[in-house]
């Protein structure tokens, strides 16, 4: 099996300005935050970000890296809406494509199956079609002739997900209770990028939990980078929970240029060694 290990900077070096990038995880849970910080340090910009959004989306919006966000929600879980994302929407600095969560899932599923769309009742009778006039409906070819929303495939240039463990070939293990839709992000993408708390041997991965925890196939991985605390300040259970104090400092920096500058310079623009030192200090 091929060894797909790379450094974090090499992983992020796969990205180019103008790409459509999917980011795995859910809200403020198991987001590939080390990769997000590396994007902030890079010259990559003008991204279309596709995400069940959390602080990944908010940080990239606050740093001016985003042209468009495709999302079902953008939340910090314990804080209902990411305030940096809200500020970007209110300022009109980004384009926003908001769809039902189930529609979002079907868009990823369609892309991973290489089909142009999937039909759904989700969105009917709501403002989803009004605020997204590019969406189309289709008639069932069967006797009932029901009208359904045709959710288009969410095709990605690249996807980034974070897992608890991975082997050098890129098989990934998610030990927490919610695997979310990470395998669909990878399946929908041309380049599949995985960060992990720890790279372990394949034997250790196979023996390290029930079969259903090994939900990322090496066939869906092009690059894997070891990033301890790589989801901080989001949760990556059972390795660690969400850092609520850190998240609060992030949230309160929205709308205050001085607070944002201080937060960004201390925690986001440093290299990984510096960031790990800040995390170990426990300072928000």
**CA dist., res. 214 & res. 175, Å (int):** 8
The answer on pLDDT for 12 being more than 70 is: yes
Q: 233: cis peptide before it, omega within 30°?
A: yes
Confidence tier at 267 by pLDDT (50, 70, 90): confident
CB atoms within 10 A of CB 193: 31
What the block records as the tokens of 189 is: 């993408």
Domains along the sequence of the chain with CATH:
8-101+154-277 (3.40.1080.10), 117-152 (no CATH)
Report whether pLDDT(283) > 60.
no
Higher per-residue pLDDT: 72 or 279? 72
For residue 284 the two structure tokens come to 């928000």
CB-based burial label for 208 (10 Å; 0-12, 13-18, 19+): middle
Tokens describing residue 39:
């994007």
Q: Give the residue from 126, 48, 140 showing the smallest Cα distance to 94.
A: 48
In the predicted model, what is the mean pLDDT of residues 74-91? 96
**Are the C-beta atoms of residues 176 and 236 closer than 8 Å to each other?**
yes
Ranges 63-67, 122-126, 268-272, most confident: 63-67
In angstroms, how far is CA 32 from the centroid of its own chain? 7
Structure confidence at residue 27 as a pLDDT band (50, 70, 90): very high
Name the CA dihedral angle for 85, 87, 90, 94, rounded to a multiple of 10 degrees. Answer: -50
Compute and round to an integer the Cα radius of gyration of the chain. 19
User: 98 pLDDT exceeds 60?
Assistant: yes
What's the pLDDT at 209?
A: 63
Where does residue 244 rank: exposed (0-12), middle (13-18), buried (19+ CB within 10 A)? Answer: middle
Q: Which residues contact 239 (CB under 8 A, 6 or more apart)?
A: 164, 175, 197
Residue with tokens 């989306």, as numbered in its chain: 57
pLDDT, mean over the chain:
93
123: CB partners within 8 A, 6+ apart: 99, 100, 103, 129, 135, 149, 151
How much of the chain, in percent, has pLDDT values that exceed 70? 95
For the entire predicted model, the pTM comes to 0.94
For the purposes of burial, counting CB atoms within 10 Å of the CB of 13, is it exposed (0-12), middle (13-18) or buried (19 or more)? middle
Token couple for 216: 């990322």
How far is Cα 173 from Cα 166, in angstroms, rounded to an integer? 6
């Amino acid at each position: 099996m091929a060894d797909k290990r790379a450094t974090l900077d090499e992983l992020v070096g796969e990205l180019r300005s103008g790409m459509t990038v999917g980011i795995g995880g859910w809200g403020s849970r198991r987001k590939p935050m080390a990769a997000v910080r590396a994007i902030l340090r890079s010259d990559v910009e003008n991204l279309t970000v596709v995400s069940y959004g959390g602080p990944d989306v908010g940080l990239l919006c606050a740093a001016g890296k985003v042209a468009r966000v495709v999302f079902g929600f953008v939340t910090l879980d314990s804080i209902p809406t990411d305030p940096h994302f809200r500020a970007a929407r209110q300022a009109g600095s980004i384009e926003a494509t908001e769809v039902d969560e189930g529609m979002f899932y079907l868009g990823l599923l369609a892309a991973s199956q290489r089909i142009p769309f999937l039909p759904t009742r989700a969105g009917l009778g709501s403002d989803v079609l009004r605020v997204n006039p590019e969406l189309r409906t289709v008639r069932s070819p069967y006797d009932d002739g029901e009208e359904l929303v045709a959710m288009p495939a969410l095709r990605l240039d690249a996807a980034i997900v974070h897992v608890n463990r991975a082997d050098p070939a890129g098989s990934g293990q998610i030990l927490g209770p919610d695997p979310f839709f990470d395998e669909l992000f990878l399946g929908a993408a041309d380049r599949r990028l995985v960060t992990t708390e720890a790279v372990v041997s394949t034997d250790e991965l196979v023996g390290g939990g029930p079969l259903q925890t090994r939900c990322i196939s090496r066939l869906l991985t092009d690059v894997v980078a070891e990033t301890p605390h790589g989801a901080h300040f989001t949760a990556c259970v059972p390795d660690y929970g969400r850092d609520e104090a850190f998240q609060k400092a992030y949230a309160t920096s929205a709308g205050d240029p001085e607070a944002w500058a201080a937060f960004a310079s201390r925690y986001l623009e440093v290299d990984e060694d510096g960031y790990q030192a800040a995390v170990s200090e426990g300072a928000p």
